[in-house]
Amino acid sequence: MTSLPAQPTPKRLGLVIDLDTCVGCHACAVNCKEWNTGGYHAPLTDFDPYGAAPDGVWFNRIHSYEAGTGADARVVNFPKSCLHCDNAPCVTVCPTGASYKRGSDGIVLVEEDKCIGCKLCSWACPYGAREFDTDAGVMKKCTLCIDRIYNENLEEVDRVPACVATCPASARHFGDLGDPDSSVSRLVADRGGYDLMPEMECAPTNKYLPVREKTAGAGATLPLEDASPEGGFLGWVDRLLSDTSAA
Partner 1 sequence: MHPAYSIIFFTTASGLGYGLLAVAAVFVGTGWLPAARELGAIIILVGVVLVTAGLLSSTFHLGHPERAWRALTQFRSSWLSREGVAAVLAYVPIAGLAWGWVWLGDVAGAWLLAAWLTPVLAAVTVYCTGMIYASLKAIPRWHHPLVPWLYVALGLATGAVGFHLVVAMFGAANFRSAGVAIVSLLAAAVLKIGYWRSIDTADPVATAETATGLGGFGTVRPLDPPHTAPNYLQKEMGYRVARKHALKLRKITLVTLFAIPLIGVALSVFAGFFLGAALAVIAALSVGLGILIERWLFFAEAVHVVTLYYGEKAA
Shortest distance (Å) from residue 238 CB to partner 1:
45
Choice from 76, 154, 187, 203 touching partner 1 (CB under 8 A): 76
Residues 196 and 204: beta-carbon distance below 8 Å: yes
Shortest distance (Å) from residue 182 CB to partner 1:
22
Binders of partner 1 in range 166-205 (CB under 8 A): 194-201
What mask of x and - would describe binding to partner 1 in positions 1 to 30, judged by CB under 8 A?
Answer: xxxx--------------x----x-x--x-
- Which residue, 58 or 174, is less far from partner 1 as judged by CB? 58
Binders of partner 1 in range 77-116 (CB under 8 A): 78, 80, 89, 91-98, 114-116
Shortest distance (Å) from residue 70 CB to partner 1:
9
Choice from 23, 67, 237, 240 touching partner 1 (CB under 8 A): 67
The footprint of partner 1 on this chain (CB under 8 A) covers a number of residues equal to 72
Helix (H, G, I), strand (E, B) or coil at 63: strand
Residues 56 and 44: beta-carbon distance below 8 Å: yes
Q: How many helices (H) and strands (E) does the chain have?
A: 7, 11
Residues 53 and 111: beta-carbon distance below 8 Å: no
Choice from 34, 55, 158, 226 touching partner 1 (CB under 8 A): 55
How far from 73 is each of 19, 22, 184, CA to CA, in Å? 15, 17, 28
Shortest distance (Å) from residue 245 CB to partner 1:
50
- Which residue, 57 or 149, is less far from partner 1 as judged by CB? 57
Helix (H, G, I), strand (E, B) or coil at 121: helix
Phi, psi torsion values for 175, nearest 5 degrees:
175, -170
Shortest distance (Å) from residue 201 CB to partner 1:
7
Longest dimension (CA), the chain: 95
- Which residue, 46 or 238, is less far from partner 1 as judged by CB? 46
How far from 205 is each of 8, 11, 200, 210, 232, CA to CA, in Å? 11, 11, 14, 16, 62
Binders of partner 1 in range 130-169 (CB under 8 A): 131-134, 136-139
- Which residue, 78 or 159, is less far from partner 1 as judged by CB? 78
Helix (H, G, I), strand (E, B) or coil at 92: helix
